[in-house]
Structure 1
């Protein structure tokens, strides 16, 4: 907060009463919407909004005032303009709230501006006016339908207002909407539109799923999903090929009727058709569900894909260690790639080919990273400003300046003979740069490059006779000011410089040590004094010359406006080329980032060998977790992982707490994930079959806001795994069944393990403290027991973090308690209780087994006798009956 808030609301008592009545007459709104009231010199919020904003922004309730009468008061909080702008940014970009701004027009308050995380068009100047980059901004709509078998059909329509894309997808989902959750993770929208459908439990469930992904949900009426005007809107918005008749009817994507209704809802919500800057700008594509590896919110959290703290530390997220991008559009694409790991083997290998080329060719990699990519501005942001008629000549020049540097980048890439790099990056980049030659020529003809060096971006004076005349006059004044500089320097006997800026125009400047010489002379006017900038001042003659110069300069600016409009209009015609250029540079930036990660690691990263989906092989040698190994004071112990379909598909992993079980199973999942993104992996060698899903049940967190206990969350995530997992999936499960009684938890864990090992046959790592699970390998040949090793001596525990074959033969809970500095008497009591319980459990189990065995024998013999007497007509029939009885009793 830069300034203190205004403390006084300029309303008399009657005006206060009138406003209180009006405010209470407003329709109800969600708690995630904040209403501001523009009072020209300041802004106010009221009621619940005032209470919330006071705590959220000012961190105190002391600034809240009450207005109205004693019987009808309204809480009020005042924002000055600076704090209002800061809070608007916080609400829209950080809190992901909606904002409404009311303005008093002719004595009546009316809604003038509104915005949401997915609809920032009215706030772009405020949010991004001084920022060099823009954020990815996608809004989706979901429409729920059903087929004749009563299956749930989801239509998804997504609008990307930065990339100017419409995306449609339609798929069948289960009762938990697990496919929808995965798609929301992949698309990563800022906002989701859902249809209000009375009290529909499916819609409520769908809303919870979307909100679980951290997306703001906006409910809209059924008529917003009507496709009556969709074709008309698309004909205006879609960028058809040159000479092609606009006819959205021919688009194959519109065969997806449910998705088309969803796209219609987003177009209406964003009011795209009413904004002329959107006309003929959008492309349409299918968003295939099966194109990407399935990831849900539990998987995203388990793999630490994104930082939970909001930082970009390489220690706590995969995005953090991946993100060595040098451009804003590269960073945006990296986030998209992380959310959309590929399943297409050819696409993955194309990325790996380029990463390998950049890893092995140090010169190209370092030149890209250190020289070329870092100088490229956010071309998408600049192009967006040009399209929206909010750009200036400086923006056009920045594009020109970037284009001037690209031939050197292309030349650097040309030093590689790699065919993949050449076909995907180098050749298209070279063609696009050539396509921008006319743009560069236009800028060279129009902008005065002599003035660019001093930060002025003006049309060349020779472009127009009147401009030339004014430029000649300004040059004369500049000559006179330089002459006055020489006189002033001689009169003062010190070194004086002539400088200019937008605030003062032209002025003299001296070092701070010479300031007294100027201030003691009444012939000069001191403008200001700064520690780093010295003293700025003017002589009376310079003041006169500067005033006359600025008058001509303002006329020059005014006269060139029409020419600037033409330049920007011409620049907007290159939007498609610049967008493609931006996409290729972003792709190169991300792949260079992958190469930098692999090449700069202290321990080896290798190119994984990818096998087609269904091959059924996962072999990781000396695998590490990329985030954990970067932590301070960590000497990482690498381990192997091996799975092969029909031989070994299921690992039961036991061992002490803190022994590395969780890190081990996550390391496997992270390595597989990184390979599917197109990155090298932290192993000595890696062979990986393409998977269709990475499914995780890790951690034990309550979800009290949603009214779900730890155990319920665990069961929901686990049933999602059981429904989604196939033989081509990777599953990691950590400590399943801890949220209920020991016997119940053990029973559930065993049942789930058997299901995954025998029916699903997915590659599964199951970390557990239920040692009963280690017995499963006796009856299921594809299960392999592993344990993390530890050594105990003199009541101490040494964790070795090595994963070895076989099960752990004991529990180390008391040793871990000792490591946590429990009191010695508590440790001793715990050891005694443990010995007593183990002795009791052993004797009880032995007696129960003996008693049950005798009863079963007697029942079995009696049933056999009965069958022999009553049921059997032949020896074969008797044998079959006894065989069935035997199976039943076993």
Structure 2
């Protein structure tokens, strides 16, 4: 931002500070407002929807200006962060009343989309990850840090999965040593530095360890990525203490990529948050529990022992409803200990945070006693009661402290004698003056002695000139008037100082005491975070029990035989949303004759719900939750893939069909025999022949080369031949009944193939005009009778409308293309050969 000529000292100060934070909007404190100037004002006024004016209106150097009240700045800050902006907050560092000239100002913190720690600026159920990317050759080392909780994760990612991995972490902001462009995520490019030892020492210092081995880090790339994060947080003037990093290993979890997560609506949905699996399962009582649940859904366990341990706890809760009810009640009194702890570390915790912390840990002894009463089940959940911290806060902090932390009213009476004395003086100064006055009247015998006050001399004793000679020696003459004398004593002078300075001193002392208490609480950060982690897990497992009771879920069996066997399985979201009774279905897939299920049937019949139900039940089982089924046997899966529906990526110039092919290619590249694949309508985005050929080839490739358990829904009835003749494939369809010219979708999936598509009936259900439905039935009848389309035009259409008809597969019976088609042995050609033949025929037909 260019500094204009001839600006005021205050504006010169603004430009000097702004120069240090060129990529941030500067909140420049001036009195009761944060002012923004120049380009900052232009940008902020548009985002915030506030009035834009200008400074120096009569000058050639007009400066755009907008402002917000400092005492209610948070909503404005949040809007700017959501827009991906950084904000540097510049405060007045001196009292303007005590300063001549320009008040000293300085930036006290810089807030970015991923580093806001105030409660109002973060979503309780979401992590707030800052992603650091350090690129070296063909590898990218990722460090994902949530400064609001301290969580730190490390992962090595291939370059071509960069976007997928950042989106899977729901990154709010990225810093990188390379130029990256990932949709809608703010990116800051940073130089990682030249000397590895500098980066290493920065990381070791933060964690108070002497070698990277203590951090269980063997790869230098992670050190670089972590050092970049720590240096960035230093630049933002944000004090934090990260938890020991956890290296993510795909082998430890069921991997669900962003496409599958979106398709299955695990945590987000285009139709509202109540249409997600997270919404259904979120019976948690604490924000930490909700975040833990969300992470569990997106990265389920892949360890039989760990899953069964959770299932054991869920089962115990279900079998002991009174125990579960008490645990739920205690958990509901616990606040967000994780984020309170981060605010303690950063020095931004308020007195209210300490009260919330106290109220939270008040429940820990009873909760711990309950859990430890069943040691076989809850042995690992030993909770630190934090009694010393509880009693410290209980004795010191008012139960309803003010929001402002520097204006007094924080410390309880009886905790500090100096505070009590100043508070007594502040509230009872007049009565203390009267006490001295009455005592000195008696001591001097002068009944007319009185204490007065003015702004020039302060407090004083006043007596008549006749009685002035009677005053004791400890009375010091202060002023002589025509008819009276004024005196002062050390006691009155001291009381005067106390009264006049009591409010300011009281606020300062209370703030100092509060800082000491906050510092002690911060020293317990590691213990508090461990406590929060255990509470979050217990809360999530209790939520699994709550929803299992509510929706009549059953315990899944986790087996290693490669078989998915589900009886009467239900879609956990649809059954909760539907007004009608949900129709459950069975699922059976194995490693032999039932690897691939080809599913045909009309639209609106329930195919998509059936497909998604299988994946959601598998995910819930891997989370350690009971499932919506009468019985479920689930193998350990490594990944779940989906290719469902039509979508495009216009920002990348990718058509619907291109997106479909890219996603399909990803599945074929990464799926294994231990994966579950959900495919719905492969090949719809291109011509019919191309679509059938691609769908056929994909099905065969999965069946013969991968062996993954696959549910493949299609409108291409030709694919049912794979189910009839292909080893390992079976055909399934959705039951339909026709009665009295009506079609009834029974939503029951059975073995077999569909004999009709019922597309016209679905159009009728959707409200197409009756004339359109009637004409569609006429055309369908003619097509099914193989009538020449040209004859249909002559018989059925008015001449003036014939020009709108698109001919469909019209061939002269004597055309050489027909002869060649008749000669093809369909049973003995591959899909790839079929595509080549079709290409040749297409060229011949065009001649």
Answer whether TM exceeds 0.5 for this pair. yes
Partner of 1:158: 144
Instruction: Give the 3 Å change call, closer, same or farther, for CA 470–129 of structure 1 in structure 2.
Output: farther
- Contact preservation (8 Å) 2:304, 2:558: yes
TM-aligned CA deviation for residue 438 of structure 1: 3.3
8 A contact 1:637–1:801 mirrored in 2: yes
Say whether 1:413 aligns with 2:375. no
Displacement after TM superposition at 1:413 (Å): 2.9
After superposition, the C-alpha distances for 1:265-324 in whole angstroms (9 at most, x for unaligned) are 22222228976x436x642332223211122111111110123369542xx011111112
Contact kept? 2:45, 2:52, Cα under 8 Å: no
Q: How does 1:714-863 map to 2 (within 5 A)?
A: 714-838=660-784, 839=786, 851-852=819-820
Residues 776 and 815 (structure 1 numbering): CA distance in 2 closer, same or farther, change over 3 Å? same
Larger radius of gyration: 2
Q: 2-side partners of 1:231 and 1:624: how far apart? A: 52
Aligned residue in 1 for 2:836: none
Residues 40-59 of structure 1 mapped to structure 2, 5 A cutoff? 41-44=33-36, 50=42, 54=46, 56-58=47-49
8 Å CA contact retained: 1:170, 1:256: no
The whole-number CA distance in structure 1 between the counterparts of 2:540 and 2:430 is 48
Q: Which residue of 1 aligns with 2:439?
A: none
| Number of corresponding residues | 719
SS of equivalent to 1:80? strand
Question: Partner of 2:223: helix, strand, or coil?
Answer: helix
Correspondence for 2:176 among 187, 191, 194 = 194
| Equivalent runs, 1:638-787 vs 2, <5 Å | 638-787=584-733
Q: Deviations over 1:817-842 (max 9, x none)?
A: 12222223322322233333341699
Q: Post-superposition shift, 1:757?
A: 1.3
Cα distance in structure 2, aligned partners of 1:458 and 1:805: 73
646 and 13 in structure 1: CA distance in 2 versus 1, 3 angstrom threshold: same
Which residue number corresponds to residue 249 of structure 2? 288
**Given the superposition, is the C-alpha separation of residues 419 and 19 from structure 1 closer, same or farther in structure 2, using an over 3 Å criterion?**
same
Q: How far apart are 1:470 and its partner, in Å?
A: 4.9
In structure 2, the partner of 1:608 is 556
Decide whether aligned partners of structure 1 residues 469 and 814 sit closer, same or farther in structure 2, where only a CA change above 3 A counts.
closer
Equivalent position to 2:155, from 169, 175, 178: 169
Label 1:73 to 1:337 Cα distance change in 2 as closer, same or farther (>3 A): farther
- Determine the C-alpha separation between the residues in 1 that align with 2:237 and 2:59: 45
Q: Does 1:385 align with 2:338?
A: no
The aligned counterpart of 2:464 is none
Asked if 1 retains the 8 angstrom alpha-carbon contact of 2:203 and 2:226, the reply is no
- Change in 2 beyond 3 A, CA 1:185/1:366: farther
Given the superposition, is the C-alpha separation of residues 662 and 66 from structure 1 closer, same or farther in structure 2, using an over 3 Å criterion? farther
Map of 1:337 onto structure 2: 296
Alignment of structure 1 residues 183-582 onto 2, 5 Å? 183-196=165-178, 207-208=181-182, 211=183, 215-221=185-191, 223-224=192-193, 227-239=196-208, 246-251=209-214, 253-271=216-234, 277-278=239-240, 282-308=243-269, 312-313=273-274, 316-369=275-328, 371-391=329-349, 395-415=353-373, 417=374, 419-420=376-377, 422-425=378-381, 428-429=382-383, 432-433=384-385, 436-443=386-393, 457-458=410-411, 461=414, 463-464=416-417, 466-467=418-419, 469-470=421-422, 555-582=505-532
Q: Secondary structure of 2:363's partner?
A: helix
Secondary structure in structure 1 of the residue aligned to 2:678: strand
Q: What is the DSSP-based 3-state SS (H/G/I as helix, E as strand, rest coil) of the residue aligned with 1:142?
A: strand
Q: Residue 166 of structure 1 contacts residue 263 of structure 1 at CA under 8 Å; is this kept in 2?
A: no
Decide whether aligned partners of structure 1 residues 110 and 474 sit closer, same or farther in structure 2, where only a CA change above 3 A counts.
Answer: closer
1:841-871 CA-partner distances (Å, limit 9, x unpaired): 99979999994498689xx9xxxxxxxxxxx
Q: Are the counterparts in 1 of residues 174 and 186 from structure 2 also a CA contact under 8 Å?
A: yes
**How far does residue 46 in structure 1 lie from its aligned partner after superposition?**
5.8
The whole-number CA distance in structure 1 between the counterparts of 2:343 and 2:739 is 69
**Is the contact between residue 115 and residue 147 of structure 2 (CA under 8 Å) also seen in structure 1?**
no
Is the Cα contact below 8 Å between 1:653 and 1:787 reproduced in 2?
Answer: yes
Contact 1:237 1:273 in 2 (8 A): no
Aligned equivalent of 2:69, options 48, 57, 81: 81
The C-alpha deviation readout for 1:578-637, integer Å capped at 9, x for no partner, is 111111111111111111111112xx201110013xx21001111111111111523211
The match for 1:544 is none
Deviation by residue 1:642-689 (Cα, 9 ceiling, x = unmatched): 001112011111111111111110011111111111111110110000
Quick one: distance in 1 between partners of 2:210 and 2:543? 41
Contact map agreement 2:735 2:746 (CA 8 A) in 1:
yes
SS across alignment from 2:380? helix
Deviations 1:447-469 (A, max 9, x none): 689999xx9652553654x4555
SS of residue paired to 2:531: helix
Does the Cα contact within 8 Å between 2:173 and 2:186 map onto a contact in 1?
yes
Measured at CA, do residues 352 and 182 of structure 1 come closer, stay the same or move farther in structure 2, by a change above 3 Å?
farther
Cα distance in 2 for residues equivalent to 1:467 and 1:265: 45
Question: How do residues 577-596 of structure 1 correspond to structure 2 at under 5 angstroms?
Answer: 577-596=527-546
Contact 2:26/2:89 (CA < 8 Å) preserved in 1? yes
Instruction: Please give the alpha-carbon distance, in whole angstroms, between the structure 2 residues aligned to 1:842 and 1:284.
Output: 62
Provide the rounded CA distance (Å) in 2 between the counterparts of 1:693 and 1:624: 21
TM-score using structure 1 length: 0.71
* 8 A contact 1:96–1:117 mirrored in 2: yes
| Equivalent-residue separation in structure 1 for 2:278 and 2:64 (angstroms) | 42
Contact 2:141 2:222 in 1 (8 A): yes
List gaps (5 residues or longer) in structure 1: 1-10, 147-151, 198-203, 240-245, 481-547, 861-890
Matched residues in 2 for 1:450 and 1:695: separation? Answer: 51
**Residue in structure 2 matching 1:116, options 112, 121, 127:** 112
Q: Helix, strand or coil: the match of 1:648?
A: coil
RMSD over aligned CA atoms reads 4.4
Q: Distance in 2 between matches of 1:111 and 1:471?
A: 34
The yes-or-no answer on 1:90 pairing with 2:79 is yes
**Deviation at residue 334 of structure 1 after TM alignment:** 1.6
Change in 2 beyond 3 A, CA 1:787/1:44: same
1:118 and 1:191 in contact (8 A); partners too: yes
What is the rounded CA distance, in whole Å, between the counterparts of 1:765 and 1:846 in structure 2? 39
Query: For 1:743 and 1:471, how far apart are their aligned partners in 2?
Result: 87
Decide whether the 8 Å contact of 2:600 with 2:717 is kept in 1. Answer: yes
Q: CA contact under 8 A between 1:617 and 1:645: conserved in structure 2?
A: yes
CA distance 1:19–1:780, change in 2 (3 Å): farther
Note if contact 1:650-1:765 (Cα within 8 Å) is conserved in structure 2. Answer: yes
Q: Helix, strand or coil for the counterpart of 2:526?
A: helix
| Structure 2: gaps spanning 5 or more residues | 93-100, 403-407, 433-497, 789-807, 829-847
Q: Once structures 1 and 2 are overlaid, which stretch shifts more, 834-843 or 574-583?
A: 834-843
d(CA) in 2 for partners of 1:820 and 1:472? 77
